[in-house]
A and B are shown apart, each in its own frame.
Chain A
């Protein structure tokens, strides 16, 4: 069974631009979560989707948004990028209330 996939793997953007990251969960998994990892803040929860509904959201500004499609694939969008948004963005999928499996991540650099 294929694992969680994320695209693109690397991305360089300029301040003020927006970016969209994509995540395809493990087949059959309907829950998708997103996390941001930075050297200063560690791993922090962004949001979680289940059956196209956002069930939980972390403490991030409204510039961070996401959605989930009917095939459970998810996208997250960051608008008006800031230097501090440079990070590794990780996506995880799971069955309901069980072990989470992570993708390889997207490394975003904002210049």
Chain B
């Protein structure tokens, strides 16, 4: 199985500042079709996860452009510019390359200072 390793496991951010979350996969997520199958989800407290970024760098519908995704074949970054109170929650990266063995990272908890 592909292992997704996130860092840090928690981050505390001052509102208005930026935050970055890293995710590393144990195997390249670059498909032969040129698409990198890494996704980012946010689970706000007591809520269902929501899709933020798909295929490494594409912003999901309705997601503020303060969020961005980047990376290579195995190393990925979610960046949040100008963190707001509504951004609090647990961020998960996920690999959707190996069907049906999709896997998620352990999650990164974002809190406000």
A binds B: no
Residues of B within 8 A of A (CB): none
**A residues neighboring B (CB under 8 Å):** none
